Amino acid sequence: MRLCVIGSGYVGLVTAAVFADLGNDVACVDVDEKKIESLNNRIMPIYEPGLEEMVTRNMDEGRVSFSTDVDSGVKGADVIFICVGTPPKDDGETDLSYIESAARTIGERLNGYKIIVNKSTVPVGTGDLVRRVINETKTTDANFDVVSNPEFLREGSAIGDALNPDRVVIGAPTKEVAVKLLELYATLGSPMLITDVESAEIIKYASNSFLATKISFINAIADICEKVGANVNDVAKGMGADKRIGKDFLNAGLGFGGSCFPKDVLSLIHTSGKLGAEFSLLKEVVKINEERVNHFVHRVVDRFPDVGSCTFGVLGLAFKPDTDDMREAKSIDIIKQLTAHGAKIRAFDPVSMDNAAKEMPDITYCDNAYDALTGVDAMIVVTEWREFKLLDMERIKGLMKTPVIFDGRNVYDAGRVRSAGFEYFSIGRG
Ligand code: UGA
């Protein structure tokens, strides 16, 4: 099939690469000339395992192209995927200006029947908005249909998630339109769900908000565990063994960050408020999440009342492992709070330090974890990169000024680090 993907951000780029890999002819277009130029030079704008290899292979074999030529992209396609950003406004409402602009772009160039697919995360009713804008701007009598096909991939495992989704959700105005789009996914052999457009739009927000709720729930349980000397990891294991609950997304820690959960939860709160149904449960989810870092920093300050004269070694800066994304990363909040007290920071992250330096230019970035921990008063683990689990604890003890660990992601076995001579603070583990 001939596809056009509008937007070469996270979702757009992965969508273009994966559909090309499945044998389609994909034109990925973006207004950002610099991004397109670097993609054409085979430089990926994001760090995502396996992406560069898949993109370059499909470029070499002529199945995917990157350009700013929206005109040919739209006119030459049977199916157009809208994959533009949907950032939050100050009050949590989703800013749909990029979606509206993509819809106008399509309307002005509609030269025959096309299926327009909303893959961006958009509030319920956006399918309608896209249809209205295209109808207002089109200059021919060509027909079109608007479909909602939410994306559930995670950063860091985007390619695997896109090739092996738990489900493909298609919200379409008719079964015939849904079936046409399903053809694109047929080879994946994943479970498919056909719904109306509005239900598909809600599935995306409900899924992200539910996962965020699971995280805040286990973090609230972690606080109880901490007070009574219980172990939240064991509690999560015991809960997760019940298939109705499920073991995933029950890792207690510093809370959820990234470009999706924080904004999507706020957007759903906003949407339900607008509809007169206050979603107080989700408001509490946000509140619990926002308290995580304060609680963690308090523990550091309790242990080091002279925090202003301390240096901390921070391991992990990205909002989660296997990505260089710093959006809503907990490291920013933690480091800003500690430096506001006068503390110095030595930090290391395997891939996000360039992005981190834009946000926090005044801390010391180190070559590796051992370098970051040299001479520091305490180690602070913020992101659970696999390589941090395998550090040589004896060596670290020799490098640090005082052997104290604050583990914000429960990376280490408490018994092991304590018997190695460390004072160890973790989340919800006594
Ligand atoms: C999330 C969803 O998982 C995807 O399904 C969805 O497609 C995506 O948002 C999106 O809407 O685009 P992502 O933001 O990449 O994916 O990352 P997750 O792996 O979901 O993690 C989100 C945050 O929750 C991270 O800060 C992570 O550290 C935190 N988390 C996750 C926990 O604190 N505990 C857990 O048990 C799991």
Q: Where are the domains of the chain?
A: 2-195, 196-430
Q: How far is the CA of 45 from the centre of ligand 1 (A)?
A: 20
Give the residue whose CA is nearest to atom 27 of ligand 1. Answer: 256
Give the residue whose CA is nearest to atom 29 of ligand 1. Answer: 256
- One-letter identity of residue 383: T
Please give the average per-residue pLDDT across 192-215, as a whole number. Answer: 98
At 262, the pLDDT band (50, 70, 90 cuts) reads very high
**Atom in ligand 1 nearest the alpha carbon of residue 257:** 26
Residue 215 has pLDDT above 80, yes or no: yes
Please tell me the distance from the alpha carbon of residue 346 to that of residue 356, in angstroms, as a whole number: 13
**Atom in ligand 1 nearest the alpha carbon of residue 254:** 33
**Atom in ligand 1 nearest the alpha carbon of residue 249:** 36
Q: How far is the CA of 154 from the centre of ligand 1 (A)?
A: 6
Give the residue whose CA is nearest to atom 13 of ligand 1. Answer: 154
Q: How far is the CA of 256 from the centre of ligand 1 (A)?
A: 7
- One-letter identity of residue 346: R
**Atom in ligand 1 nearest the alpha carbon of residue 11:** 12
Give the residue whose CA is nearest to atom 7 of ligand 1. Answer: 152
Helix (H, G, I), strand (E, B) or coil at 234: helix
- Work out the burial of residue 33: count CB atoms within 10 Å of its CB; fewer than 13 is exposed, 13-18 middle, 19 or more buried: exposed
End-to-end CA distance of the chain: give it in Å, rounded.
57
Domain 2-195 has CATH 3.40.50.720: yes
pTM of the predicted model, to two decimals? 0.96
**Residue 279, Cβ neighbours under 10 Å: how many?**
17
196-430: CATH, from 3.40.50.80, 3.40.50.720, 3.40.1110.10, 3.40.50.300: 3.40.50.720
Q: How far is the CA of 138 from the centre of ligand 1 (A)?
A: 38
Give the residue whose CA is nearest to atom 10 of ligand 1. Answer: 260
**Atom in ligand 1 nearest the alpha carbon of residue 215:** 34
Q: How far is the CA of 261 from the centre of ligand 1 (A)?
A: 7
Give the residue whose CA is nearest to atom 12 of ligand 1. Answer: 260
CA dist 216 → 219, 246, 265, 281, 332 (Å) = 5, 15, 12, 11, 19
Please tell me the distance from the alpha carbon of residue 93 to that of residue 264, in angstroms, as a whole number: 9
For ligand 1, mutation pick of 155, 325, 349, 411 (most atoms within 8 Å of CB): 155
Residue 182 has pLDDT above 80, yes or no: yes
Is 310 catalytic? The answer is no
Q: How far is the CA of 430 from the centre of ligand 1 (A)?
A: 26
Give the residue whose CA is nearest to atom 5 of ligand 1. Answer: 152
Q: How far is the CA of 12 from the centre of ligand 1 (A)?
A: 18
Please give the average per-residue pLDDT across 349-367, as a whole number. Answer: 97
Residue 430 has pLDDT above 90, yes or no: no
Give the residue whose CA is nearest to atom 35 of ligand 1. Answer: 249
Please tell me the distance from the alpha carbon of residue 124 to that of residue 135, in angstroms, as a whole number: 19
Of the chain, the percentage scoring pLDDT greater than 90 comes to 100
Give the residue whose CA is nearest to atom 17 of ligand 1. Answer: 154
**Atom in ligand 1 nearest the alpha carbon of residue 259:** 14
Please tell me the distance from the alpha carbon of residue 150 to that of residue 207, in angstroms, as a whole number: 11
Q: How far is the CA of 155 from the centre of ligand 1 (A)?
A: 8
Residue 123 has pLDDT above 80, yes or no: yes
Please tell me the distance from the alpha carbon of residue 345 to that of residue 259, in angstroms, as a whole number: 25
Active-site choice (83, 260, 310, 366): 260
Q: Evaluate whether 2-195 and 196-430 have a shared fold.
A: yes
Please give the average per-residue pLDDT across 264-280, as a whole number. Answer: 96
Residue 68 has pLDDT above 90, yes or no: yes
**What mean pLDDT is reported for the chain?**
97
The ligand 1 site (C-beta within 6 Å) comprises: 121, 151-155, 208, 211, 215, 249-251, 253, 255-258, 260-261, 319-320
Please give the average per-residue pLDDT across 352-381, as a whole number. Answer: 98
Please give the average per-residue pLDDT across 206-235, as a whole number. Answer: 98
- Work out the burial of residue 257: count CB atoms within 10 Å of its CB; fewer than 13 is exposed, 13-18 middle, 19 or more buried: buried
Please give the average per-residue pLDDT across 422-427, as a whole number. Answer: 98
Please give the average per-residue pLDDT across 300-313, as a whole number. Answer: 98
For ligand 1, mutation pick of 249, 286, 320 (most atoms within 8 Å of CB): 320
- Per-residue model confidence (pLDDT) at position 118: 98
**Atom in ligand 1 nearest the alpha carbon of residue 156:** 15
The candidate with the shortest Cα–Cα distance to 122, out of 172, 159, 157, 82, is: 82
Starting at the earlier edge strand, list the strands of the sheet with 344-348: 364-365, 344-348, 311-315, 378-381, 404-407, 423-425
Please give the average per-residue pLDDT across 352-357, as a whole number. Answer: 98
Over residues 126-138, the pLDDT tens digits come to 999 999 999 999 9
